[in-house]
């Protein structure tokens, strides 16, 4: 690993759900793997001190570098003192990293507070959690506030799906091989689906979810970013500017989303959950059809689906190919598919038709499967770990840029203004029936197509 400057890491939302599940374990794992700087301090911050301290399960030698300081949008003075003290302890070459794991409505005031408290000066970087704003206007306002205090190269808008090994495998498959890219277009591909059903419900996040909903939580963020990786042209190189230029160009060609091509759902019982408005119209499910209006993709449907309390928890990207024109074989009529499983342990399958063994000429579907970690005998980093590490190195490759995020909100404007009424669906189902018909004629791959 290249030499990393000593870091003061300030974690806002230090006692929140994301910090507990991903950020603290991620930091510990990086420390244990020798991927944190030799010298660092972590200052957890939030409005209320945690009961029983932070990083309780960390080894003593690491935990003694962790402190907690109360801060709020109105008062960053104690935090400023603590950051100053930590910087002095680490010396002039140190950097400060602010990780903003705060709800969307708190983001702008907190960024403003950093500026007012003088914390944005010096060798500073800031990580901003998604969703980035609520719509185009609020995203622009947040970008403007960020840019008042930080240069764009200090800002890291995180979308942890891009940190998943398997998401980067989409790029590797496309651009490191001669086999796939020549057929990666509308002449050969009939449709793409990005399907992220979750069995999870609200998991105690009712207030976040009520203000966010499935579209803002997942679609304009994770699913759209994956769409960017699938749809983009080959970047000139794998540096952050080239990659993000290429992704932004794909988003520029994204056709604005429409209520007609979108199904919203809400799982039965959602309104009875603690913290949820009994008349809530928040969608817990979205399925939609998107199009990228350029020569590569014209008229190819990109089907996106995600939701809570569904039948299975999966993250599947499926690229469905057109069938050969001459159909000379008997047997199964299934198109070829490339299937990416965006699990931490990435898996890839290419589904083909092969001759059924025996005295027949019929064909049947079978899969060429690849378990990447097993094949290469290596383990990757968890998405947040990878991205935290990238921030320490100052690498923007897997972070989203202001223009990309604003363009995605722009494409969402019509839908946000006229959202479809959420249709009720049973917990443990695949969402409203209307979402099934939306995907015709290709149809959702999940539940797994029978072979």
Q: Which of 108, 165, 217, 404 binds ligand BG6 (CB under 6 A)?
A: 217
Question: Measured from the CB of residue 160, what is the shortest distance to ligand BG6 in angstroms?
Answer: 6
Nearer to ligand BG6, 273 or 414 (CB): 273
- Say whether residue 199 binds ligand BG6 (CB under 6 A): no
7 a catalytic residue: no
SS3 355: strand
From the list 222, 242, 333, 389, the catalytic residue is 222
Q: Which residues 45-104 are close enough to bind ligand BG6 by CB under 6 A?
A: none
Q: How far, in Å, are 183, 298, 301, 304 from residue 191 at the CA level?
A: 13, 11, 5, 11
> How far is it, in rounded angstroms, from Cα 86 to Cα 44?
13
Asked whether 397 and 390 are in contact (CB, 8 A), the reply is yes
Q: Which of 157, 289, 314, 315 binds ligand BG6 (CB under 6 A)?
A: 315
List, in sequence order, the alpha helices (H) in 150-275: 165-175, 206-214, 224-231, 240-252
Nearer to ligand BG6, 217 or 351 (CB): 217
Question: Measured from the CB of residue 339, what is the shortest distance to ligand BG6 in angstroms?
Answer: 17
- Say whether residue 200 binds ligand BG6 (CB under 6 A): yes
> How far is it, in rounded angstroms, from Cα 354 to Cα 204?
48
SS3 104: helix
CA-based nearest residue to 192, from 444, 411, 415: 444
Q: Which residues 337-376 are close enough to bind ligand BG6 by CB under 6 A?
A: none
- Say whether residue 198 binds ligand BG6 (CB under 6 A): yes
Q: To which residue do tokens 């499935």 refer?
A: 214
- Say whether residue 195 binds ligand BG6 (CB under 6 A): no
Nearer to ligand BG6, 19 or 66 (CB): 19
Q: At what angle do helices 165-175 and 224-231 cross, to 10 degrees?
A: 20
Nearer to ligand BG6, 161 or 302 (CB): 161
Question: Measured from the CB of residue 373, what is the shortest distance to ligand BG6 in angstroms?
Answer: 17
Which parts of this chain interact with ligand BG6 (CB under 6 A)?
Answer: 160, 198, 200, 217, 315
Which residues are annotated as catalytic?
222
């Amino acid at each position: 690993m290249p030499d990393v400057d000593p870091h003061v890491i300030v974690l806002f939302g230090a006692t929140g759900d994301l910090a507990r599940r991903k950020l603290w374990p991620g930091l510990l794992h990086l420390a244990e793997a020798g991927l944190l700087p030799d010298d660092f301090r972590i200052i957890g911050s939030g409005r209320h001190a945690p009961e029983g301290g932070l990083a309780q399960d960390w080894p003593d030698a690491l935990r003694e570098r962790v402190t907690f300081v109360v801060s709020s949008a109105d008062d960053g003075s104690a935090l400023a003192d603590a950051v100053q003290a930590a910087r002095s302890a680490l010396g002039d070459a140190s950097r400060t990293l602010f990780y903003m794991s705060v709800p969307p409505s708190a983001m702008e005031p907190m960024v403003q507070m950093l500026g007012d408290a003088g914390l944005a000066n010096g060798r500073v970087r800031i990580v901003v959690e998604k969703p980035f704003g609520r719509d185009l206007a609020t995203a622009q306002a947040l970008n403007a506030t960020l840019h008042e205090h930080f240069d764009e190269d200090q800002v890291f808008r995180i979308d942890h799906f891009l940190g998943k090994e398997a998401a980067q495998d989409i790029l590797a498959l496309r651009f490191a091989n001669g086999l796939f890219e020549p057929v990666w277009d509308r002449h050969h591909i009939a449709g793409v689906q990005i399907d992220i059903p979750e069995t999870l419900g609200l998991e105690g996040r009712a207030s976040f979810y009520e203000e966010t909903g499935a579209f803002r939580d997942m679609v304009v963020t994770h699913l759209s970013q994956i769409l960017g990786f699938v749809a983009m042209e080959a970047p000139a190189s794998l540096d952050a500017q080239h990659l993000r230029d290429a992704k932004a160009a794909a988003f520029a060609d994204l056709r604005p989303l429409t209520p007609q091509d979108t199904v919203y759902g809400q799982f039965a019982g959602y309104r009875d959950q603690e913290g949820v408005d009994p008349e809530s119209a928040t969608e817990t499910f979205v399925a939609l059809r998107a199009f990228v209006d350029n020569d590569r993709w014209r008229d190819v449907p990109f089907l996106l689906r995600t939701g809570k309390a569904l039948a299975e928890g999966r993250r599947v990207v499926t690229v469905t190919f057109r069938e050969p024109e001459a159909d000379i074989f008997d047997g199964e009529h299934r198109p070829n598919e490339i299937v990416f499983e965006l699990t931490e342990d990435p898996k890839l399958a290419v589904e083909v038709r092969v001759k059924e063994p025996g005295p027949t000429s019929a064909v049947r579907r079978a899969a060429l499967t690849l378990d990447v970690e097993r094949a290469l005998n290596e383990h990757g980093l968890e998405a947040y770990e990878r991205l935290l590490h990238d921030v320490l190195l100052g690498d923007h490759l897997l972070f989203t840029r202001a223009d990309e995020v604003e363009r995605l909100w722009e494409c969402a404007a019509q839908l946000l203004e006229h959202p479809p009424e959420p249709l009720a669906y049973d917990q443990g189902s695949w969402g409203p029936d209307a979402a099934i018909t939306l995907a015709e004629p290709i149809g959702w791959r999940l539940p797994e197509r029978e072979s």
